[in-house]
């Protein structure tokens, strides 16, 4: 198992980057940079590439609607170049609230678009002239489809460091997860319950794996997760509850909330409805209080060493191979020390 870290895009970026070499010496393998409706992730990943030598880098995630497929491929090849082959392209559809509400782009066909983006990216990295006729993207755009008629297939000018840059996809819905199992190197689920993987995703994973190219190897489940060794502060626990309430209760319209649907697939139908009803009526504190304790425990790494050891074993048995940590310790020194101890525990458990 690898240990990674999600960099907080809302603050503390420079301070965290200055500590990355210390984290690396204490067991950190990977750094992931989010891109929501925040600063772009590309500039920050380039900065991290210049400040580090061995840490792997990943986008978590680039939204498929906000760049053309070819620009996504160019960006990934550029980040792989400046990091000397350390980049993983993390992709995801995000949701209508961000794509339509912030970017003004229609949120449609996330499944089909994700497949086509992956296929075009892999053409670009192999320096093939990009010729793709899909349902959502046509490259080059021909005259009979509204183009000028002057376009011709082009290949990327530079020689990418790698012709096969790893692709990781954030997905929650059954059809999206089946696509990930078929095509991607990695999978970024959110609020992953190790004891209910089969209930939530068993059939889609089986469907995707049946079509998977053996050359892709094992699917690397890369899990964003809150982490604290020992008893977390009440404020930290409340922040976790607030986040779960936001996603389950308020991330999207009542009938288009992917996280609420996931909670239902886990078996929390009544709780998910209550959280959503409270959140959408403006009673956010009550919504957070309604988040089940066992759900909080299942989707986090919190507790003493015995509890962490048990949780690591459960996640590993469920297929998790990379933790993308959100350390909750109060000081830099404590966060580094806790990452070091977690690295030791992971080695013990997975030996």
Q: Specify whether 200 is located in the same domain as 341.
A: yes
The whole-number pLDDT of residue 179 equals 98
Q: Specify whether 105 is located in the same domain as 157.
A: yes
The whole-number pLDDT of residue 78 equals 98
Domain boundary among 279, 301, 323: 301
User: Rounded to whole angstroms, what are the CA distances from 289 to 149, 242, 274, 340?
Assistant: 59, 8, 11, 32
Q: Specify whether 101 is located in the same domain as 183.
A: yes
The whole-number pLDDT of residue 208 equals 98
Domain count, the chain: 2
Asked whether the beta carbons of 228 and 190 are under 8 A apart, the reply is no
| Domain membership of residue 278 as a residue range | 231-301
Q: Specify whether 174 is located in the same domain as 197.
A: yes
pTM to 2 decimals? Answer: 0.93
Q: Specify whether 208 is located in the same domain as 152.
A: yes
Q: What is the mean pLDDT of each run of 10 residues along the chain (351 residues)?
A: 88 84 94 93 95 95 96 98 98 90 94 97 97 94 87 95 98 95 97 95 97 96 96 93 96 86 96 97 97 96 96 97 95 95 97 88
Residue 8 is given by DSSP the state P
Q: Specify whether 87 is located in the same domain as 26.
A: yes
If you write DSSP's letter for every residue of 178-236 in order, what string do you get?
HHHHHH-SEEE-SS--GGGHHHHHHHHHHHHHHH--GGG-S-EEEEEEEEEEBPPPHHH
Q: Specify whether 51 is located in the same domain as 116.
A: yes
In sequence order, which residues have a C-beta less than 8 Å from that of residue 20 and are 6 or more positions away?
A: 28, 31, 48, 51, 52, 55
């Amino acid at each position: 198992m690898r240990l990674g870290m999600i960099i907080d895009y809302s603050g503390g970026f420079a301070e965290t980057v200055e500590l990355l070499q210390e984290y690396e010496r204490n067991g950190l393998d990977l750094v992931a940079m989010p891109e929501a409706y925040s600063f772009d992730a590309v500039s920050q990943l380039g900065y991290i590439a210049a400040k580090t030598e061995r840490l792997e880098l990943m986008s978590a995630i680039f939204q498929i609607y906000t760049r053309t497929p070819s620009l996504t491929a160019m960006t990934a090849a550029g980040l792989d170049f400046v990091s000397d082959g350390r980049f993983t392209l993390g992709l995801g559809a995000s949701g209508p609230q961000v794509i339509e509400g912030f970017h003004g782009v229609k949120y449609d066909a996330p499944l089909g678009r994700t497949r086509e983006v992956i296929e075009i990216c892999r053409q670009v990295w192999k320096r093939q002239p990009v010729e793709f006729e899909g349902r959502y993207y046509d490259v080059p755009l021909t005259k009979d489809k509204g183009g000028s008629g002057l376009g011709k297939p082009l290949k990327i000018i530079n020689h990418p460091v790698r012709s096969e840059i790893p692709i990781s996809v954030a997905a929650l819905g059954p059809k999206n997860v089946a696509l990930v199992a078929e095509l991607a190197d990695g999978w970024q689920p959110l609020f992953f319950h190790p004891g209910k993987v089969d209930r939530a995703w068993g059939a889609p994973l089986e469907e995707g794996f049946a079509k998977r190219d053996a050359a892709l190897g094992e699917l690397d489940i890369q899990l964003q997760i809150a982490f604290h060794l020992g008893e977390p502060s009440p404020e930290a626990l409340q922040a976790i509850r607030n986040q779960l309430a936001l996603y389950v209760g308020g991330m999207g319209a009542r009938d288009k909330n992917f996280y609420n649907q996931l909670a239902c697939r886990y078996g929390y139908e009544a709780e998910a409805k209550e959280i959503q009803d409270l959140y959408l009526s403006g009673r956010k504190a009550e919504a957070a209080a309604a988040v089940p304790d066992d759900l909080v425990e299942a989707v986090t790494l919190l507790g003493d060493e015995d509890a962490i050891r048990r949780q690591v074993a459960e996640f590993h048995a469920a297929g998790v191979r990379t933790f993308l940590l959100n350390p909750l310790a109060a000081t830099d020194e404590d966060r580094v020390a806790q990452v070091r101890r977690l690295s030791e525990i992971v080695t013990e458990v997975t030996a």
